[in-house]
């Protein structure tokens, strides 16, 4: 029985191991960068919701977003969980911001209705005095 001749050299195995290690390290850096980017995006969304007035107009959604972002930033050992929390924090912050905008729009619409009613009343009185 004849065996195939292999040209195995120990340095080739080390080179392959080193290459695999570098790829794993790069993959880890990429996922860390993605998580860092998501945390930054989520933090900006929470801040925008805060400055829009969400803590007052949509406190439940805002507090949920803030809590999830805090937990994601806390350095959870599982990057998948941290990423998911950061994504959820952004969604919750966007919802709080949208609700705040809707509340402000509703208040403005109500003010316009009151203003229109006052103008109608003024016009009615002016007609009566003619």
Structural domains present in the chain: 36-128 (1.20.1270.390)
128 is written with which tokens? 């009566």
CA distance 10 to 110: 80
The 10s digit of each residue's pLDDT in 50-77 is: 999 999 999 999 999 999 999 999 876 7
Q: Would you say 50 and 65 are in contact if contact means Cβ atoms under 8 Å apart?
A: no
First to last CA, the chain: 123
Kindly tell me if the per-residue pLDDT of 43 is higher than 60. Answer: yes
CA distance 61 to 23: 40
The 10s digit of each residue's pLDDT in 2-25 is: 545 545 445 544 444 444 443 344
Neighbours of 49 (CB within 10 A): 28
Kindly tell me if the per-residue pLDDT of 26 is higher than 90. Answer: no
| pTM to 2 decimal places | 0.67
Give 50's contacts (C-beta < 8 A, 6+ positions apart): 62
- For position 63, what pLDDT does the model report? 96
In the chain, the percentage of residues whose pLDDT exceeds 90 is 69
């Amino acid at each position: 029985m004849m065996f195939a001749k292999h040209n195995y050299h120990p340095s080739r195995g080390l080179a392959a191991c080193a290459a695999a290690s570098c790829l794993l390290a790069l993959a880890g850096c990429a996922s860390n960068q993605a998580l860092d980017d998501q945390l930054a995006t989520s933090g900006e969304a929470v801040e925008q919701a805060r400055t829009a007035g969400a803590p007052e107009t949509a406190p439940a959604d805002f507090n949920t977003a803030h809590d999830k972002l805090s937990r994601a930033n806390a350095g959870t050992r599982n990057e998948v969980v941290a990423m998911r929390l950061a994504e959820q924090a952004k969604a919750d912050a966007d919802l709080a911001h949208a609700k705040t905008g809707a509340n402000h729009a509703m208040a403005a619409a109500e003010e316009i209705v009151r203003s229109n009613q006052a103008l109608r009343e003024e016009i009615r009185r002016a007609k009566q005095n003619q």
